[in-house]
Amino acid sequence: MKPFLKPAWKPILLVSFTALILYMIIHIPIHSRAIDQQIAANVYADGVETAKTCIVMKGEITKRSFSDTWYYRGTFCIECCPSTCGEGVAAQISQEKGAGLGRIGYYHHGDFTTLALTGRILVDEDMSNIAVELEDGTIVATSEEAYSAYKSKR
């Protein structure tokens, strides 16, 4: 006599294997490039340029398959904000194409923090037009245009 129900392990195994393959394809970086640059920036308080500073970046930009979001991981040192420049401090930025403001977070030896930043950033994929706001309301921007764009999107 044959069993009433057939074992369903073959279809389950096939579906699981297919799901695993799709997950891996989606999360494989398709574009990855190193970035090592230093860019001049202005410090704005209450809409007035108050000082000059520099942003130092050394890391990697990646974009995944089937995604409009790109990511940056590495050093993102804002010289007028010393907590972003410490030994072992790294940043992670995510920006969705056409979505307005991206997210920036810092980590230091596994602890995540914003390090005196609001966590919002305006940045292009070339990492040349940047605007980021400090917790005290000061905005660091690479140009007047980046400053104005950040103010309009926040």
For residues 46-72, one letter each, b for 16 or more C-beta atoms within 10 angstroms of the residue's C-beta and e for the rest, the string is eeeeeeeeebebebebbbbeeeeebbb
Q: Would 24 be classed as within a structural domain?
A: no
Q: Would 102 be classed as within a structural domain?
A: yes
Q: Would 25 be classed as within a structural domain?
A: no
Q: Would 9 be classed as within a structural domain?
A: no
Q: Would 22 be classed as within a structural domain?
A: no
In the predicted model, residues of the chain with pLDDT beneath 70 are 1-7, 9, 26-29, 65, 114
Q: Would 4 be classed as within a structural domain?
A: no
Q: Quick one: pLDDT at residue 3?
A: 58
Domain membership of residue 136 as a residue range: 30-153
Q: Quick one: pLDDT at residue 67?
A: 75
Domain count, the chain: 1
Q: Quick one: pLDDT at residue 27?
A: 67
Q: Would 12 be classed as within a structural domain?
A: no
Q: Quick one: pLDDT at residue 66?
A: 72
Q: Would 134 be classed as within a structural domain?
A: yes
Q: Quick one: pLDDT at residue 100?
A: 80
Q: Quick one: pLDDT at residue 10?
A: 76
Model-level pTM? 0.77
**Cα–Cα distance, 30 to 98 (Å, whole number):** 19
Phi-psi region of 37 (alpha: psi -120 to 50; beta: other; left: phi over 0): beta
